[in-house]
A and B are shown apart, each in its own frame.
Chain A
Amino acid sequence: MQRRDALKSLAGLTAVVRQPATLFAGPQQAEVSDELTPLPSAQPDEAGDPGPRRFFTPEEMTAFRRLADTLLPSTGTPGALDAGAPEFLDFYLSQDGPGRQKLYRDGVRRWMSGASLDPLKQPWTPQPPADSWAAFLRTAKDDLWRATLSSRAWAGATEGRRRVTGATYWYPVES
């Protein structure tokens, strides 16, 4: 069945859909008012607070940008700074859980104190490194890479070459 046929089938399905109130009587003792607090429901992400949010201090942000440029520099393709990846992660971390916030905060401070990037030369393992500095570096490398490849700058620079950035998006289903 092609997609168009599938959609036709779904349209036909709506003809047999009934709502409880049209079919069943609720027990009298369960009668409730119409003033129930609405259930919390999935909100479209666009409804989230779009205002500026910051996680790092200005000094930390300067250092984080320097780290981002070191891990993922601009070459023939956009780097982390071109992609605004540090700024995106600054926003993201402002909403993140305390575990990752601490990992990043402590990690950037270690970076500011001149810690070595040598842990990034170790082979990858599925288990996060026990050492917090090594764990931070691996996380930051992954996040910066992903934020860069998911940026408009990357899509514009590599358009038609490889990475598909558009996909089916599902809006909240509440009815």
Chain B
Amino acid sequence: MPTYDAIIVGAGMNGGAAAYALTAKGLSVLVLDAGPLLDPARHRGSKSVYDLPYRGFNRPGRFPHITQASEFNANLWADEQLNPYTYPKDQPYYWVRVRLVGGRSLLWGRWSLRLSDYEFRNHDHDGYGDNWPLRYKDLEPYYDRADLLLRVTSKPEHLPQLPDNKGPADNSSDSPAVARFRAAADKMGITVTKPRRAGGAWASSVNLLLPRASATGRLTLVPNAVVREVTTDKNTGRATGVAFVDRVSRRDYTAQGRVVVLAASTLESTRILLNSGLANSSGVLGHYLFDQFYVKGVVQALVPRGLDAGGGGYVVRFRNLKDRDKRFLRGYSYDFGTRGTPDARLYPLYGEALKQAVEANAGRGFSMTTMGEVLPLFENHVSIDPDKKDAWGIPALHIRQTYGPNEHAMARDSMETAEEMCRRAGFEALAKHDRMVPPGESIHELGTCRMGDSPKTSVLNQFQQSHDVKNLFVVDGSSFVSGGVQNPTLTMVALALRSSDYLAEEMRKRNL
């Protein structure tokens, strides 16, 4: 039975990044993923919505917590019956998962934004929460590498709160509608920039990262491996490998490695650690769960007739940078799109008048979505549900997260500000609201296994290495100390690359 230099749990973007970096450094790597391997040639087809059994509505009740699931991609999302979790009755949590090799990188929105020292040093800035155990300059070289790996395109703006990406510049011109909106925002002191996204027809771990690791000849990938726990040597306390269950046969297996790297996703990695009874001398494992709150369609509007629409953009965070807002801490951003046709539900009409209104405004739609920072709180946490297990007999998570007054005040301000931006641009608002989606729905869950300098208040050090178990690393979003408003994937990848370089160097020095 082989002993690998490193066992990586999870083949999503973070596991893929770690596999890429570690195999490049000469390590033999075993990657285990809980799901099967997607074969686009076999599993992908094309259908018309009217040929689907439920006309695109999806089978009733199939995905009570995955609003992103369509009848077209329903077979890609994790089945909640097989993979259950619980939450307090009055505090719904929407845990959105993909259990396939590649994980959610198969479906992500590809937004790739850097954090700044407004996040890494947030306590220094406003006195709330904790600083990260690293600064922007520590991560910048790895952001550069991540940008190139993911082929991020962007428009440089030279903003301290949103550092520029390394990839190719987006020099495309704005549509007249976007240009007008940008000009209106500019007069309010708010920056509107191009989307910053990973490029290509597909931007997943399985086409960008794992093939590079595979090309070294040092990667072994095992799909359908549902990891139950990290195994340890009782004498030394060191990790020895993992115990896992074959998803299909449900047979139990173990694998041995000199180092274990969890990259199973924010909550799955923490679940594995909780089920392993490891890495929690601080008592904060599972705590400080947060994400980014979304107000989808915070304002929906019509661009003026005769003004060509098309494309979208990103409104960079502007609150609580140089000044201090008395209503809330931190800030929010928006993304927006133009040219859609506003949904019929937005019109207080029915019958022929409704059809006429929809037809008359086809292509004039404008919609903004708020993405707000959520304060990490000890009270928001996950734990092991004493009664619930998944289909493989592994104890499931109980998840408890609510949004507080800071998030609600921010959502309210984001609605009022969005409406004002539209008014100044001459866009006619059809609807506005400040109702946040339930926690989890943004699919940006973070924290629960956070980094820090002190073993007394954090689980991991700045290299995502367990304070308690030196040959155990957790290279995903669970390690975040705070989240900002930026979509987290790029930062996760940069962190995984940095930690992998450290891991390889420590192994070379025989410190691991």
Q: Mark A residues whose CB is within 8 Å of B.
A: 1-3, 5-7, 9-10, 12-21, 23-27, 30, 32, 36, 39-42, 44-46, 48, 50, 70-73, 75, 77, 88, 92, 95-97, 100, 117, 120-127, 138, 141-143, 145-147, 150-152, 154-155, 162, 165-175
Complex Cα–Cα for A82 and B38 (A): 39
CA distance A18 to B32 in the complex (A): 10
* Contact B50 A15, beta carbon cutoff 8 Å: no
Please measure, in the bound complex, the distance between the C-alpha atom of A88 and the C-alpha atom of B60, giving whole angstroms.
Answer: 13
Interface status of B39 (Cβ within 8 A of chain A) = yes
Residue from B38, B81, B202, B224 in contact with A40 in the complex, judged by beta carbons closer than 8 Å = B81
Q: Cβ of B53 and Cβ of A46 under 8 Å apart?
A: yes
Chain B min CB distance to A31 (Å): 8
**Chain B positions 385-433 with a Cβ under 8 Å from a chain A Cβ:** 391, 430-431, 433
Interface residues of B in 33-61 (CB under 8 A from A): 35-50, 52-57, 59-61
Chain B: how many interface residues by the 8 Å CB criterion?
Answer: 87
Q: Which 3 pairs across A and B sit closest by C-beta, in order of nearness? A: A30-B252, A6-B207, A9-B211
Decide yes or no: A45 and B52 within 8 Å by CB, A13-B214, A40-B81, A124-B348 being known contacts.
yes
- The answer to whether B36 and A173 touch across the interface, beta carbons within 8 angstroms, is yes
The verdict on B225 contacting chain A, using a C-beta distance below 8 Å, is yes
In whole angstroms, how far apart are the Cα atoms of A105 and B94 in the complex? 29
Report 30 cross-chain contacts, Cβ distance below 8 Å, ordered by A residue.
A1-B201, A3-B201, A12-B211, A13-B210, A17-B221, A20-B222, A23-B255, A24-B253, A24-B254, A24-B255, A32-B251, A36-B250, A39-B250, A40-B82, A45-B71, A70-B350, A95-B59, A120-B349, A121-B348, A125-B433, A138-B345, A141-B344, A151-B50, A166-B46, A168-B45, A168-B46, A169-B45, A169-B72, A170-B76, A172-B75
User: By the criterion CB–CB under 8 Å, are B56 and A14 in contact?
Assistant: no
Q: Which residue of B lies closest to A100 (CB)?
A: B60
Q: Are A167 and B47 in contact (CB under 8 A)?
A: yes
A1 to B209, CA, bound (A): 12
- Measured between beta carbons, the chain A residues less than 8 angstroms from B232 are none
Point out which of A25, A45, A117, A155 has the most chain B C-beta atoms below 10 A from its C-beta.
Answer: A45
B246 at the interface (CB under 8 A from A): yes
Residues of A contacting B349 in the complex (Cβ-Cβ under 8 angstroms): 120-121
> In the complex, what distance in Å separates the CA atom of A17 from the CA atom of B253?
17
Tell me whether A96 and B61 are in contact (CB under 8 A): yes
Determine whether the beta carbon of B72 is less than 8 Å from that of A167: yes
Contact B225 A6 (CB under 8 A): no
Say yes or no: A171-B75 contact (C-beta < 8 A), given A23-B220, A39-B250, A70-B350: yes
Say yes or no: B352 contacts A170, CB within 8 Å: no
Q: Which residues of B contact A95 (CB under 8 A)?
A: 59-60
A-B pairs with CB below 8 Å: how many?
A: 237
Contact with A along B18-44 (1 / 0, CB 8 A): 000000000000000001111111111
Q: Which residues of B contact A117 (CB under 8 A)?
A: 350
Q: Are B56 and A146 in contact (CB under 8 A)?
A: yes
Apart from the given pairs A9-B207, A124-B430, 4 other A-B contacts in the complex at a CB distance below 8 Å: A17-B221, A75-B356, A126-B297, A155-B50
User: Which residue of B42, B221, B348, B362 contacts A123 across the interface (Cβ within 8 Å)?
Assistant: B348
Quick check: B79 and A42 within 8 Å, CB to CB? yes
**Which B residues touch A75, using CB under 8 A?**
352, 355-356
B interface residues with partner A (beta carbon < 8 Å): 1-2, 35-50, 52-57, 59-61, 71-76, 79, 81-82, 100, 151, 200-202, 206-208, 210-211, 214-215, 219-225, 244, 246-255, 297, 341, 344-352, 354-356, 359, 362, 391, 430-431, 433, 435
A23→B3 CA distance, assembly (Å): 11
Of listed B1, B297, B355, B359, residue having the most chain A CB within 10 A: B355
Is B55 a contact partner of A141 (Cβ separation < 8 A)? no
A1 close to B207 (CB less than 8 A): yes
Q: With A and B bound together, what is the CA distance between A24 and B224 in angstroms? A: 13
Cβ A151 vs Cβ B55 within 8 A: yes
Out of A2, A32, A169, name the residue touching B200 (CB < 8 Å). Answer: A2
Give Cα A152–Cα B224 distance, bound, in whole angstroms. 39
Q: Please name the residue on chain B nearest to A152 by beta carbon.
A: B50
Most B-side CB within 10 Å, residue of A6, A97, A142, A174: A6
CB-CB < 8 A to B2: which residues of A?
23
Expressed in whole angstroms, the Cα–Cα distance for A121 and B348 within the complex equals 4
Evaluate whether A70 and B351 lie within 8 angstroms (CB atoms) in the complex, with A124-B346, A170-B75 already known. Answer: yes
Tell me which residues across on chain A come within 8 A of B214, comparing CB atoms: 12-13, 15-16
A50, A72, A100 interface centre (most CB from chain B within 10 Å): A72
Q: Do B57 and A127 have beta carbons less than 8 Å apart?
A: no
Q: Which of A21, A77, A170, A174 has the most CB of B within 10 A?
A: A170
Q: A1 and B208: CB pair below 8 A?
A: yes
* CB nearest to A7 among chain B residues: B40
Chain A residue nearest to B214 (CB atoms) is A16
Chain A residues positioned under 8 Å from B75 (CB to CB)? 42, 44, 170-173
Is B48 a contact of A166 with CB atoms below 8 Å? yes
Tell me if B59 and A17 are in contact (CB < 8 A).
Answer: no
B56 touches A150 (CB 8 A): yes
B252 CB contact (under 8 Å) in A5, A26, A41: A26
In the bound assembly, the distance between CA atoms of A34 and B450 in angstroms comes to: 42
Q: A16: which B residues are within 8 A, CB to CB?
A: 214, 219-221
Min distance, Cβ A104 to any Cβ of chain B, angstroms:
12
Which residues does chain B contribute within 8 Å of A17, judged by CB atoms? Answer: 37, 221-223
Q: Are B221 and A13 in contact (CB under 8 A)?
A: yes
Interface centre among B100, B202, B220 (most CB of A within 10 A): B202
Question: Among the interface residues B40, B50, B75, B252, which one has the most CB atoms of the partner chain A within 10 A?
Answer: B50
